[in-house]
Amino acid sequence: MKTKRRAFLQQTSGLLGLAGLLSLAENEALANRLKSPAKAGKPYIVFVAGDHEYSGEQTLPLIAAELEKNYGFRTKVIKSAPDQNAEKNIPGLEALREADLAVFFLRWRQLPPDQLQYIDEYLKSGKPVMGFRTSTHAFNFPKGDTSEEWNAFGERAFGSPPGWGKAGHTHYGHESTTDVTIIPEAAKNPILTGVAPSFHAASWLYRVRPDYPPKDATLLLMGKSVNPDKPAIDNPVAWTWKNKANAKVFFTTLGHPEDFQQESVQRLTINAIHWLLGKPVPKKWKGKIAINVPYRGIVK
């Protein structure tokens, strides 16, 4: 009897000790989680860069650094590798699985299915999405390719035309620039806080009309081509929308590196990120970001 009682006490003591160790481990894990910015309420933004022309792989990291330094976000920038011309590889896209916001600046990629899967999962998640300029034609798979439907990524994600040359999607020449004005009906939109009523952009105007953005989009900024190479019409250059996954969307056809030197474009970007994440647009501007990235053009 004593032997059984001793064995029971030893077993109970062992279980209590194990429970204590597990409790200690759980407490340590909880403490570590609370120390982690992700668990301390800091939204996680993943920037995806890969364009031949506009140096998004240089401008986006500067914006990301500012968001971390002054606005309380965590960020990660993933890029085409080994350089901006690498159309078939953007390592690190699995980070989108943890992202609270995805920001795309892509042009004519042909990613493999295993990488496209991460983007597809994100778009289906209903989480907010943001895009710049050439993301209207982020992908350029050849006709008949199993991934050809990705050429319409811009339409699916942002409510833009479904690829370059589709639905009249074009621009007004590389020698042109754009006068940008706030659309009067949108003047009180929080995304436009601190944005000048009118400013001049280095980006040549993209034509998205008459079919895009969708009729249920909210237009924010209108562009007028300066020195166009063909008859031009005014076109929206920034809008918000909800896509078919019910995700909040912000898109702008601006994105020339010289655009990012302007405080209005910087504020537009920072404000839109806050809005997409359900955060109040900053009442106090933390100051102009030093962005001095030259226009590269397409370099083979």
Can you give the chain as a three-state secondary structure string? CHHHHHHHHHHHHHHHHHHHHHHHHHHHHHHHHHHCHHHHCCCEEEEEEECCCCCHHHHHHHHHHHHHHHCCCEEEEEECCCCCCCCCCCCCHHHHHCCCEEEEEECCECCCHHHHHHHHHHHHHCCCEEEEHHHHHCECCCCCCCCHHHHHHHHHHHCCCCCCCHHHCEECCCCCEEEEEECHHHCCCHHHCCCCCEEEECCCCEECCCCCCCCCCEEEEEEEEECCCCCCCCEEEEEEEECCCCCEEEEECCCCCCHHHCHHHHHHHHHHHHHHCCCCCCCCCCCCCCCCCCCCCCCC
Q: For position 40, what pLDDT does the model report? A: 53
Per-residue pLDDT tens for 179-209? Answer: 999 999 999 999 999 999 999 999 999 999 9
Q: Which residue has the higher pLDDT, 231 or 8?
A: 231
39 or 144, higher pLDDT: 144
CA distances 44 to 14, 64, 277, Å, are 42, 11, 10
Residue 95 has pLDDT above 50, yes or no: yes
Which letter, b or e, does each residue of 174-213 get, where b requires 16 or more Cβ atoms within 10 Å of its Cβ? eebbbebebbeebeebebbbbbbeebebbbbbbbbeeebb
Question: What is the distance between the alpha carbons of residues 298 and 300, in angstroms, rounded to a whole number?
Answer: 6
How far is it, in rounded angstroms, from Cα 61 to Cα 77?
A: 6
The pLDDT mean for the chain works out to 90
pLDDT at 41: 82
The answer to whether the beta carbons of residues 231 and 115 sit under 8 Å apart is no
Which range scores top for mean pLDDT: 29-43, 82-96, 164-178? 82-96
- The identity of residue 128, as a single letter, is P
pLDDT at 4 exceeding the cut of 60 = no
Determine the Cα angle at 192 with ends 129 and 119, to 5°: 5
Amino acid 8: pLDDT: 41
Domain boundaries, the chain: 42-165+237-276
Separation CA 232–CA 120 (nearest Å): 35
Residues recorded for the chain: 300
% of the chain at pLDDT higher than 70: 87
- The model's pLDDT over 252-283, given as tens digits with 9 standing for 90+, comes to 999 999 999 999 999 999 999 999 999 999 98
Return all residues near 247 (Cβ < 8 A) that are at least 6 apart: 123, 125, 126, 127, 128, 129
Residue 66 burial (10 A CB sphere; 0-12, 13-18, 19+)? buried
Q: What is the CATH T-level fold of the domain 42-165+237-276, as seen in this structure?
A: Rossmann fold (3.40.50)
pLDDT of res. 203? 98
pLDDT (tens digit per residue) in 198-251: 999 999 999 999 999 999 999 999 999 999 999 999 999 999 999 999 999 999
Report the predicted TM-score, pTM, of the whole model to 2 decimal places. Answer: 0.86
How confident is the model over 162-187, as a mean pLDDT?
95
